[in-house]
Structure 1
Amino acid sequence: MPNHTIIFVDDDFICNLDICEILREADFIVVTTYCASAAIEAIATGGHLSGLVTDIDLGPGVDGFEVARRARAAYPDLPIIYISGTAAARHAFEGVADSTFLSKPCPPQQIVAALNRAIRLEAV
């Protein structure tokens, strides 16, 4: 699999470290962010992105739904994976179209598999 660049955003430092390590082991290039504003800045800096993985509850400021909307505005077909322990019911109403929702805690390999499916489908 060629390296794909993704943005990962989660305000939980330990969760972020663990998942990003597994994503890198799966040959993803990971832009690690810990808040919505840093993720939005990473989206705005351009470059080729293959996906976004975002928690929904990111502390003060905008949430992961808004991060995903901004990512889709810049990259209309960008695969989006939401991860959250609390917002499953909101995904149907606030999530961007054709996104995936994974309930936390989820094994990092489940995120890798979701990204691989989304990116493979996008490449077809």
Structure 2
Amino acid sequence: MSDKRTVLVVEDEEMLLSAVSMEFEDAGYDVLCAGTAEQAYDLLRARPRVDLLFTDIRLPGQLDGWDLAERARALQPDLPVIYVTGYSNEQPRQVAESVLVMKPYRMSAIIDVARRLGVG
């Protein structure tokens, strides 16, 4: 069993998903990837524990990042969440103890946020 922290990265842009995943891996995290909130929710239900949810807000499918975080918190009430978005016209529906980051972002800033949330 790994003692690394596990991050679930949810991003529908494949290049961005790959880049973010590699950055988290380089920073010492285990990474799970999903392209939709539905895939991510299935992964969360199948795993005993995830240490951080990193999710885009706008995702294909029935659920968006806000919905995913709410459902994830129902499964794991203390799960830290980092939301990312390039759009700011919608009203945020952040869960408590979460951080919203606007695109474009620097991965070093994301890793810093993860560590501030106690995941590092």
Instruction: Name segments (4+ residues, structure 1) moved above 6 Å.
Output: none
Alignment map for 1:50-65 (pairs within 5 Å)? 50-65=51-66
Percent identity over paired residues: 28
TM-score, normalized by length of structure 1?
0.88
Report the CA distance between 1:89 and its aligned residue.
Answer: 5.1
SS at match of 1:8: strand
- Contact kept? 1:7, 1:32, Cα under 8 Å: yes
- Contact kept? 1:88, 1:101, Cα under 8 Å: no
Report the CA distance between 1:4 and its aligned residue.
Answer: 0.2
Report the CA distance between 1:88 and its aligned residue.
Answer: 6.7
TM-score, normalized by length of structure 2?
0.91
Distance change in 2, residues 1:116/1:29 (3 Å):
same
RMSD (CA atoms): 1.6
Provide Cα deviations, 1:82-124, integer angstroms capped at 9, x if missing partner: 0001147522xx111121000011011111111111025xx9x
Alignment map for 1:89-108 (pairs within 5 Å)? 90-91=91-92, 94-108=93-107
Report the CA distance between 1:30 and its aligned residue.
Answer: 0.6
Runs of 5+ consecutive residues of structure 1 not aligned to the other structure? none
